[in-house]
Amino acid sequence: MTYRSTTNAAHDAWTFILRPLLFAILSSTLLHSTFTSADASAERGLAIATEADKRDSGFGDTRVDLTMLIATSNDQQISRDMRQMNLEVEDDGDKSIMVFDRPRDLKGTAILTFTHRAGSDEQWLYLPALKRVKRISSEDKSGPFMGSEFAFEDLSSQEVEKYTYTYLRDETIDGEPCFVVERVPTDKYSGYSRQVTWVDQKEYRLQRVDYYDRKNTLLKTMTAADYQIFLDRYWRPGELVMVNHQTGKSTTLRFRNYQFQTGLQDSDFTPNAISRIR
């Protein structure tokens, strides 16, 4: 059980009201100082990311079924079925398990990830043919996930601390007024130089991300669709579409059967536990 402390509330008040206000005043009085306005953009970008994170906190745990539709060059679609379990961890990154159902030769293969706000993530792989749980390097951020257009890092838990932020502008996409915030990965193994994100102003949901490769060329665009609300509070997309601008290929990720607060706990997210999942 977790509680929000009064000190946190005071800190939140500072972060979300007083500090932006102070910077708004400062930036308007020192309008010509580009240095200060850059600082203000960074503050505002971080504030938007923090607010989005805060709005999603307290979900406890989730389960969801995923289907990945990978469009190949010869106009065929290949599908991959997976299940994901997530556990919210207080004061650190979330824990997650991805289990493969299809194709059948991968059935039962599972990846356990401990995301960390600071330092590298931890990752284990379960190979059902050998019944072996193997600790693997978490440096493989930018590699394609299952030959799709999604990289491992696109699918990992999006912790606030994993990026630095700059607020760029307001912009309406698909009738939804959004904040446009640029974020730069802090992890040196990221495959991206930067990402431009569109977050809607009403519910702080990620609507679109433009990914720029290490040479700062636009590589991919991800768009989220069919958001649904759960437990009166938590928004989850029904679909993520990733388009690779350099190859023209695309991958669609569909989510079904979201379940919240299903009773998952720490002991379900261990290297031994992933060997028991079927």
Partner 1 sequence: MMAVLSNVADVHGSTIAPQITVEDIRVGLSPEKTRLVFDLSGPIDYRLSMMQNPTRVLVELAHSESRFDPATVHLSGTPIQSIYTQDEAPDALRFVIEVEPGTDAHAFTLKPFADRADRLVLDLYSANAIPAQMKQTDSHQTATLAEAGKAAKRNPPPPVTSSGVAAPREYNGEWSGYLSFDSRLFFESPKYPDQKDQDFSVAFKPEYYVDWSDGEQQFGFSPFFRYDTADDQRTHADVRELYWQMEHDRLITKLGVDVVFWGVAESQHLVDIINQTDLVENIDGEEKLGQPMINLDYLSDWGSVQFYVLPYFRERTFPGKHGRLRTEPAVDTRNPQYESGSKEKHVDFALRWSHNVGDWDLGLAHFTGTTREPYLQPDVSDGRLKLYPFYFQIDQTSVDAQATKGAWLWKLEAIYNENNLQDYYAYVGGFEHTNFGVADSPVDLGVLLEYHYDERGDEATNGLQSDLYLGLRVTGNDLASSMALVGFIYDTDTHSVFGNIEASRRLNENWTLGLELRFTSNTSEEENLYYIESDDYLGFELRRYF
Residues that bind partner 1 (CB under 8 A): 1-6, 58, 70, 72, 78, 102-107, 120, 122, 130-140, 142-144, 146-147, 189, 191, 228-233, 258-263, 265, 267, 270-273, 276, 278
Measured from the CB atom, the residue of 21 and 132 that comes closer to partner 1 is 132
Minimum distance between the CB of residue 94 and partner 1, rounded to whole angstroms?
Answer: 16
Is beta strand 77-87 parallel, antiparallel or unpaired with respect to 250-260?
unpaired
Minimum distance between the CB of residue 22 and partner 1, rounded to whole angstroms?
Answer: 25
Minimum distance between the CB of residue 194 and partner 1, rounded to whole angstroms?
Answer: 18
Measured from the CB atom, the residue of 26 and 243 that comes closer to partner 1 is 243
Show Cβ contacts of residue 168 under 8 Å, excluding neighbours closer than 6 positions: 41, 45, 180, 181, 182, 196
Measured from the CB atom, the residue of 135 and 173 that comes closer to partner 1 is 135
Minimum distance between the CB of residue 7 and partner 1, rounded to whole angstroms?
Answer: 9
Measured from the CB atom, the residue of 29 and 217 that comes closer to partner 1 is 217
Minimum distance between the CB of residue 165 and partner 1, rounded to whole angstroms?
Answer: 25
Minimum distance between the CB of residue 250 and partner 1, rounded to whole angstroms?
Answer: 14
Residue 21 near residue 14 (C-beta atoms within 8 A): no
Measured from the CB atom, the residue of 160 and 273 that comes closer to partner 1 is 273
Minimum distance between the CB of residue 2 and partner 1, rounded to whole angstroms?
Answer: 7
Residue 115 near residue 138 (C-beta atoms within 8 A): no
Residue 173 near residue 208 (C-beta atoms within 8 A): yes
Measured from the CB atom, the residue of 33 and 246 that comes closer to partner 1 is 246
Measured from the CB atom, the residue of 6 and 34 that comes closer to partner 1 is 6
Measured from the CB atom, the residue of 39 and 101 that comes closer to partner 1 is 101
In this structure, the number of other CB atoms found within 10 A of the CB of residue 32 comes to 7
Minimum distance between the CB of residue 200 and partner 1, rounded to whole angstroms?
Answer: 18
Q: What's at 243, amino acid-wise?
A: V
